[in-house]
């Protein structure tokens, strides 16, 4: 029997959960990502001999099936429940008081976690996609990859829109989904709070998370949306200097605070979403998943990939695709 084939754009958690579920059911799956590897907003930054993350610091589950999935990842040694102290405003509180008791953090590189979810699917890194057509993925270098039983687009909605010129129905049903940006920095300093997480009550900075995989004193510091919107077009140097001086003021730190890396997430989190787990143009065999469709956060993104894959597997078994 001929194996069904899927082509997926985007190797974030949504694309990876979809790819892994389909390949586990015997589908041939190609995954294309413009980046150098899997991960998306769960990517890893290599530093010397260690790693840190500028993306999602925590993974949390509100309900099944993601709750059971997180328990399995804990059993496999990929995640651990977050522990330690949280500095919130001027007080140091427990995880429960900070409402973070259901939060987990990766113990392996987050990008590796996503890579493992891909299962047997073939990942094509450094492969930006320029357009989608019925059953076909057009790469930026002009190559057309095709005759897929389903093409799945798993990128933030503002990045999906320009790919959908040849699919007006899907484009229209997507409507307008707005994302908000975040500037994230890896900063190293000596001294300061003994806490593991700092939740700022501030209009410039939102959160700082101690990093344990790349030497002492390293933190990931995430800006507020307002900060990122103000410094959306600023240089890395300007945004880093503004964030470091805001941090020093808030924590009463002396110089030097070294900024070792930074990243502007233009599409950090969706403000509105399309609704449901996926959107599809059945006739042309193209579907959209990810947090811009299903809702903000790792849980919704992961579940959108899973649910679409399950629906495709069922449709294949029923002979409708």
Ligand X SMILES: Cc1cc2nc3c(=O)[nH]c(=O)nc-3n(C[C@H](O)[C@H](O)[C@H](O)COP(=O)(O)OP(=O)(O)OC[C@H]3O[C@@H](n4cnc5c(N)ncnc54)[C@H](O)[C@@H]3O)c2cc1C
Binding positions for ligand X, 215-244, rule CB under 6 A: 222
Look at the alpha carbons of 71, 76, 78, 80 in this order and tell me if their dihedral is positive or negative: positive
Q: How far is the CB of 82 from ligand X (least distance, A)?
A: 10
Binding positions for ligand X, 23-52, rule CB under 6 A: 32-35, 40-42
Radius of gyration for the chain, computed over Cα atoms and rounded to the nearest angstrom: 20
Q: How far is the CB of 55 from ligand X (least distance, A)?
A: 5
Look at the alpha carbons of 291, 122, 309, 134 in this order and tell me if their dihedral is positive or negative: positive
Question: What distance in Å separates the CA atoms of residue 15 and residue 97, rounded to the nearest whole number?
Answer: 34
Which one, of 49, 70, 72, lies nearest residue 60 by Cα?
70
Bridge-based pairing state of the strands 28-32 and 122-124: parallel
Our CB check for ligand X shows the closer of 221 and 321 to be 221
Of 142-150, 165-173, 230-238, 297-305: span binding ligand X (CB under 6 A): 297-305
Does 213 help bind ligand X (rule: CB under 6 A)? no
Does 7 help bind ligand X (rule: CB under 6 A)? no
Does 21 help bind ligand X (rule: CB under 6 A)? no
Q: How far is the CB of 34 from ligand X (least distance, A)?
A: 4
Q: What angle do CA 148, 152, 156 make, to 5 degrees?
A: 155
Question: What distance in Å separates the CA atoms of residue 234 and residue 291, rounded to the nearest whole number?
Answer: 26
Our CB check for ligand X shows the closer of 71 and 269 to be 269
Which residues make up the interface to ligand X (CB under 6 A)?
9-15, 32-35, 40-42, 55-58, 128-129, 154-156, 159, 182, 184, 222, 265, 268-269, 290-291, 296-299, 301
């Amino acid at each position: 029997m001929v194996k069904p084939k899927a082509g997926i754009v985007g190797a974030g958690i949504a694309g990876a959960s979809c790819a892994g579920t389909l390949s586990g059911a015997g589908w041939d799956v190609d995954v294309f990502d413009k980046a150098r590897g899997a991960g998306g907003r769960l990517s890893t930054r290599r530093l010397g001999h260690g790693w840190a993350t500028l993306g999602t610091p925590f993974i949390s589950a509100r309900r099944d099936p993601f709750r059971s999935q997180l328990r399995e990842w804990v059993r496999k040694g990929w995640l651990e429940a977050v522990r330690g102290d949280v500095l919130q405003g001027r007080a140091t509180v427990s995880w429960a008081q900070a409402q973070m008791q259901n939060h987990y953090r990766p113990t392996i590189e987050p990008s590796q976690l996503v890579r493992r979810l891909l299962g047997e699917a073939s990942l094509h890194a450094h492969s930006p996609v320029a357009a989608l057509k019925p059953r076909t993925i057009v790469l930026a270098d002009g190559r057309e990859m095709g005759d897929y039983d389903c093409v799945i687009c798993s990128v933030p909605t503002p990045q999906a829109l320009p790919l959908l010129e040849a699919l007006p129905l899907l484009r229209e049903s997507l409507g307008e989904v707005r994302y908000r940006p975040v500037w994230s920095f890896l900063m190293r300093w000596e001294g300061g709070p003994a806490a593991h997480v700092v939740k700022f009550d501030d209009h410039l900075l939102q959160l700082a998370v101690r990093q344990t995989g790349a030497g002492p004193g390293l933190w990931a510091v995430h800006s507020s949306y307002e900060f990122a919107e103000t410094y959306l077009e600023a240089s890395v140097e300007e945004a880093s200097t503004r964030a470091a001086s805001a941090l020093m003021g808030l924590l009463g730190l002396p110089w030097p605070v070294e900024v070792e890396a930074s990243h502007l997430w233009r599409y950090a989190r969706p403000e509105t979403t399309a609704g449901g787990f996926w959107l599809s143009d059945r006739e042309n065999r193209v579907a959209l998943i990810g947090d811009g469709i299903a809702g903000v956060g790792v849980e919704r993104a992961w579940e959108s990939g899973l649910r679409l894959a399950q629906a495709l597997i069922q449709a294949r078994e029923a002979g409708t695709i």
